[in-house]
Amino acid sequence: MTAGDSTAWKLVSLSPLPGWALGLLVGAVVLGVFLAAVGLRREPSVGRRLLLLALRTVAGAAALFLLIEPGVRTLQVARVKNRMAVLVDRSASMGLPVTPGGGTRSAAVAESLLRMAPGLKALEERFNVELLGFDPALLPVSETVLRTVPAQGVRTDLLGALRALRATDTGGSKKLSGVLLFSDGADNAELQGGVSARARAELLALGFPVSTVQVGDPTLLDVALENLKVDDFAFVRNAVGVEVELRVRGLPGKDVPVVLEREGQVLGTKTVHVTGADETTPVSFTFTPDQTGRFVYTLSAPVFPGEAVTENNTRSFVLKVIRDRVRVLLVVGRPSWDERFLRGLLRQDANVDLVSFYILRTSSDDTQTRNPERELSLIPFPMEEIFDAKLSTFDVVVFQNFGHADQQLSIAQYERKLEQYVANGGALVAIGGDRALGDARTSYPILDRALPVDPVGQTASVAPYRVHLTAEGQRHPVTSVLPTAAASLAAWDELPAGSGVNLVRAKPGATVLLDNPSLLLDGKPAPVLALWEHGRGRAMALMTDDSWTWAFTVHRTGDPTRLYDRFWGNALRWLVRDPDLTTLQVSADPPSVEPGTPVGAVVTAREVDYQPAVGAEVTVELSSVRQHRVVATVRATTGPDGMVRVSFPGQPAGAYRLHATAKSGERVLGEGEDAVAVRTVGPELTDATVRADLLAELARDTGGKAYHLPLQGLPELPLLDPPVVEVGRSKDRPLWDRWEWLLLLATALGLEWVLRRRYGYI
């Protein structure tokens, strides 16, 4: 394709003599004129001298003309049509309104292109005009696409787009003469921090001018949460820090509150007083996760009227809360073998951080000392410290045979705190004995609400009995001490006879795992081990103080058994919601996604013996935390590894929970939960800034010009001229082969000879 053919001409020598010969001849002619001038230096008449010299010069020129044989060469030429690219930013920020409530930046580009259409049409006589978008990959676009298809690019990479465009410049008709770039300049890639020296060198090396058109209004009103800094995971009951920058533009004098929430629960609020027109203030929060698991946290600032972007007022992130070591508080009513074996077990468990308090004496005990302060190693029972200040730092609180009426040992004033501790995600264990669970010297009615059992109001039965694993106990992970239910049942059956149980009834909703079949209460075996969930926490009650025999007496026959260790290990893991203890696990994959991106989840199903559940029917529900409803449900079947990956359609921004259930045949395999954040705003929408300075700098560095909308038509653009190339054959027309040039030579020479004779030189 060419810009149109035309004819060009030039003078050429048609002489067959080589160049060096022509050079010698020219030298000879010049020498002849010079000698003539030397010979005439004594001529007194200036007129004669000039006349003779002029005749010699004319003769020499005529001779040269004839020797060089000049001609006119005519040739057909054409100009190659180069490319001129109109490059349009298709990143998501181009979907922001130019003015609050107005059309998008992309629509403004489309409108501008319509106005420029005549000018671009005119350019098409010289250039191939291409309309391209970048998101950041280059792609053809049209005005209709700009107007109707939302810009969704996840980042703006101006230099990357120009680099990609440069790669298409392969010379010839593909050569680029210039670029007209439409963008808001909100680069969040290489030019985010401005044009560096390296970037400038690369811009210079592009080889074509880039003219820029700024889209959007740089003077906007906006509140944005930017540069969120938080770790991916945290330890439960350990403080976590979150930092974010609050950028407020166009709202001087306003108070802007920033709120941190966990799935609807407000964790903290910080208010920032804005003084400047464009102010960035760091805001930090510190909170202590009280539960393990994965949760969606959201930071938000209010939306003010007329804001350019409302999506950047909130930021969501997912935090995985894990436990380091299980912190167990063991409160013992009095020393006992039950306490001694439990302490021995917990102390040797590397995963347990044990803090214990034993009541070694009551105020009525006589220690037979003259100076108890100096003779006893006893310390005061620090109730306020452990049940108030430090309570939330424990994962599990164990009351073992604890129920003192003694005013100094009563925990009555802390029982509400303890009940709330469980309701808010803590774990409580009550172990029986002669001072607990109905045999206590006092009652704690508020704390008892957290327990899965109610005392029947009678003293403990001390009749020997054999503990029995219930049907629920055979399935439950706490009492599943061996790989199969049958083996677990046999292990529990082989335990030595117990010496007594506290008499309690299981509350509705509680699960009884062990009972005493030889003692009936309300027609049912008396519970020995029961558990339930109280609020967001878990509680377990063991109605005996002779579980130590499961650790010791059971070994009298010499048969090795680790029932006691496994039972308490399972119990602690269940109490702290150890995810590995569940037979069904669901994990968001990835834990956070962009709005509109499919939400993925991986489900792992195991049988009760923890073997992969092959072919299990899995149902996964995706629920919106804000709307409190299921927004999508997916059903799938697990593979040979007991795993399956499911995917949900893209969701609007917000916090979501995944809830999975699975069945293998008619058998329920359990349920699992996880959290996933559909990020409220991606990096592209965080900043609504229009960076006119960057666009101007980019134009300047490449030799282009910077403009801004609105434009009434196509402005004058610096463009490289397309090169001219020769097409067709050339034609030579001699100029020397005419008689007039020979006559001129003869006349000049003859006239000089005649005059020299007349003047006496010959």
Partner 1 sequence: MEVVAEARPLSLNARLFDYPFLYFGGEGDFPPLAQSEVDTLRRYLGYGGFVLADANDGSSGTGFDAAFRREMARVLPASPLQPLPSTHVVFKSFYLLDSAPGRLFTHPQLQAALIGGRAAVLYSQNDLAGAWARDEGGDYSFEVVPGGEAQRELAVRTGINICMYALCLDYKDDAVHLPLILKKRR
Q: Which residues bind partner 1 (CB under 8 A)?
A: 334-337, 339-341, 343-344, 347-348, 355-358, 360, 368-369, 373-379, 382, 548, 551-558
Non-local CB neighbours of 414 within 8 Å, separated by 6+ positions: 383, 387, 388, 391
Output the smallest distance, CB 335 to partner 1, in A. Answer: 4
Output the smallest distance, CB 373 to partner 1, in A. Answer: 7
Non-local CB neighbours of 553 within 8 Å, separated by 6+ positions: 496
CB 308 within 8 A of CB 101: no
Q: Look at the block and give the residue holding tokens 């969930």.
A: 533
The smaller minimum CB distance to partner 1, of residues 372 and 649, is found at: 372
Q: Residue 744: beta bridge partners?
A: none
Q: How many angstroms separate the CA atoms of 304 and 409, rounded?
A: 56
Selection from 594, 585, 597, 592 nearest residue 645 by Cα: 585
CB 83 within 8 A of CB 127: yes
The smaller minimum CB distance to partner 1, of residues 287 and 337, is found at: 337
The smaller minimum CB distance to partner 1, of residues 39 and 496, is found at: 496
Output the smallest distance, CB 340 to partner 1, in A. Answer: 5
Could you tell me the sign of the dihedral formed by the alpha carbons of 686, 689, 690, 695, in that order? negative
Output the smallest distance, CB 372 to partner 1, in A. Answer: 10
Output the smallest distance, CB 343 to partner 1, in A. Answer: 6
Output the smallest distance, CB 647 to partner 1, in A. Answer: 51
Non-local CB neighbours of 314 within 8 Å, separated by 6+ positions: 225, 298, 299, 300, 301, 653, 680, 681
The smaller minimum CB distance to partner 1, of residues 241 and 464, is found at: 464
Output the smallest distance, CB 564 to partner 1, in A. Answer: 10
The smaller minimum CB distance to partner 1, of residues 555 and 708, is found at: 555
Q: Is 456 exposed, middle or buried (0-12, 13-18, 19+ CB in 10 A)?
A: middle
Output the smallest distance, CB 378 to partner 1, in A. Answer: 7
Q: How many angstroms separate the CA atoms of 297 and 283, rounded?
A: 15
The smaller minimum CB distance to partner 1, of residues 362 and 592, is found at: 362
Could you tell me the sign of the dihedral formed by the alpha carbons of 112, 113, 114, 118, in that order? positive
Per-residue 3-state assignment (H helix, E strand, C coil) for 388-424: HHCHHHCCEEEEECCCCCCCCCCCHHHHHHHHHHHHC
The smaller minimum CB distance to partner 1, of residues 369 and 413, is found at: 369
State the CB neighbour count (10 A cutoff) for residue 742.
14
Output the smallest distance, CB 426 to partner 1, in A. Answer: 20
CB 696 within 8 A of CB 158: no
Q: Residue 295: beta bridge partners?
A: 319
The smaller minimum CB distance to partner 1, of residues 127 and 402, is found at: 402
Output the smallest distance, CB 552 to partner 1, in A. Answer: 5
The smaller minimum CB distance to partner 1, of residues 360 and 519, is found at: 360
Output the smallest distance, CB 547 to partner 1, in A. Answer: 13
The smaller minimum CB distance to partner 1, of residues 73 and 466, is found at: 466
In b/e form, how buried is each residue of 385-401, taking b as 16+ CB within 10 angstroms? ebbeeebebbbbbbbbb
Q: How many angstroms separate the CA atoms of 40 and 53, rounded?
A: 8
SS3 assignment, position 49: helix
The smaller minimum CB distance to partner 1, of residues 275 and 557, is found at: 557
Residue 267 token pair: 């964790």
Selection from 37, 64, 58 nearest residue 49 by Cα: 37
State the CB neighbour count (10 A cutoff) for residue 442.
14
